[in-house]
């Protein structure tokens, strides 16, 4: 749609901070008030709207998208989002290692094992490592601990965690991003370790490159959202 407003601003209100366009509060696609927890996030969302030129492009406003998703979907379907996110732990990417080639196995060990070890220390959630793609059962206590961690997030943090988990294919990598153990670039690299190894050997086609750009953008947006929530 064409830009129809002169200025976007953040505004403190009941229950948090809203964003206005020429003084009128922004509504979500679900017609709910867009209210976020703090001024930093509201100001960053307003900046996205102010940065739009002739056309308002939703793809250029990832923080707005995450905030509206929180209000319209996560807040109204919270239990389902918690389950979807926590379920990644049962078949987490970092638990499935290659037997061959040795160079790939060594890279997985170097990048993923520290994350497995961190999850043990941080959440008391040891996970079973396996080779190949056959699903391996994980300790029930570990899955419960990780699910409890997901469930304790507020709606906005849960949105970021859900997006990061889906983009990474790994709850462990996403939690490391949430907790500041990894930055967005490191989380993307860890989640794309296998693909990057193959690209080094065989090259990258256009479709694969576009998919990786999309995933990287999702991870960056989630990381920025988390950072702003903490301010």
pLDDT in tens, the chain (231 residues): 899 999 999 999 889 999 999 999 999 999 999 999 999 999 999 999 999 998 999 999 999 999 999 999 999 999 999 999 999 999 999 999 998 999 999 999 999 999 999 999 999 999 999 997 788 999 999 999 999 999 999 999 999 999 999 999 999 999 999 999 999 999 999 999 999 999 999 999 999 999 999 999 999 999 999 999 999
| CA distance linking residue 158 with residue 143, whole number of Å | 17
| CA distance linking residue 167 with residue 151, whole number of Å | 19
| CA distance linking residue 95 with residue 93, whole number of Å | 5
User: How confident is the model at residue 133, as a pLDDT?
Assistant: 79
What is the secondary structure of the chain as a DSSP string?
A: -B---S-EEEEEETTEEEEEETTEEPB-TTS-B-EESSHHHHHHHHHHHHH--SB--GGG-HHHHHHHHIIIIITTSHHHHHHHHHGGGGG-GGGEE--SSHHHHHHHHHHHHHHHHHHHHHHS-----EESSS--PPPHHHHHHHHHHHHTS-HHHHHHHHHHHHHHT-HHHHHHHHTTSS-HHHHHHHHTHHHHHHHHHH---HHHHHHHHHHHHHHHHHHHHHHHHT-
User: How confident is the model at residue 106, as a pLDDT?
Assistant: 97
User: How confident is the model at residue 76, as a pLDDT?
Assistant: 97
User: How confident is the model at residue 81, as a pLDDT?
Assistant: 99
Whether the bond into 125 is cis, omega within 30 of 0: no
| CA distance linking residue 184 with residue 199, whole number of Å | 20
User: How confident is the model at residue 134, as a pLDDT?
Assistant: 85
User: How confident is the model at residue 217, as a pLDDT?
Assistant: 98
Delineate the domains of the chain, giving CATH numbers in brackets. 8-61 (3.30.2180.10), 78-229 (1.10.3580.10)
């Amino acid at each position: 749609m064409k830009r129809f407003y002169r200025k976007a601003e953040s505004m403190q209100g009941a229950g948090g901070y809203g964003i206005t366009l020429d003084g009128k509060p922004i509504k979500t696609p679900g017609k709910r008030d867009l209210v976020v927890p703090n001024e930093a996030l509201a100001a960053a969302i307003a900046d996205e709207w102010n940065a739009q030129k002739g056309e308002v492009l939703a793809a250029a406003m990832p923080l707005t998208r995450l905030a509206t998703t929180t209000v319209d979907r996560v807040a109204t379907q919270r239990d389902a989002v918690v389950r979807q996110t926590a379920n990644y732990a049962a078949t987490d990417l970092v638990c499935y290692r290659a037997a061959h080639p040795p160079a790939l196995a060594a890279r997985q060990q170097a990048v993923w094992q520290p994350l497995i070890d961190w999850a043990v220390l941080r959440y008391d959630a040891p996970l079973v490592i396996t080779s190949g793609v056959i699903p391996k059962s994980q300790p029930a206590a570990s899955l419960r601990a990780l699910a409890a961690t997901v469930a304790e997030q507020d709606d906005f943090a849960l949105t970021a965690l859900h997006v990061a988990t889906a983009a990474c294919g790994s709850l462990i990598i996403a939690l490391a991003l949430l907790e500041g153990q990894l930055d967005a670039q490191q989380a993307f690299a860890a989640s794309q370790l296998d693909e990057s190894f193959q690209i080094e050997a065989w090259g990258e086609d256009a479709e694969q490159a576009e998919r990786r750009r999309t995933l990287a953008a999702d991870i960056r947006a989630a990381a920025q959202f988390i950072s702003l929530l903490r301010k």
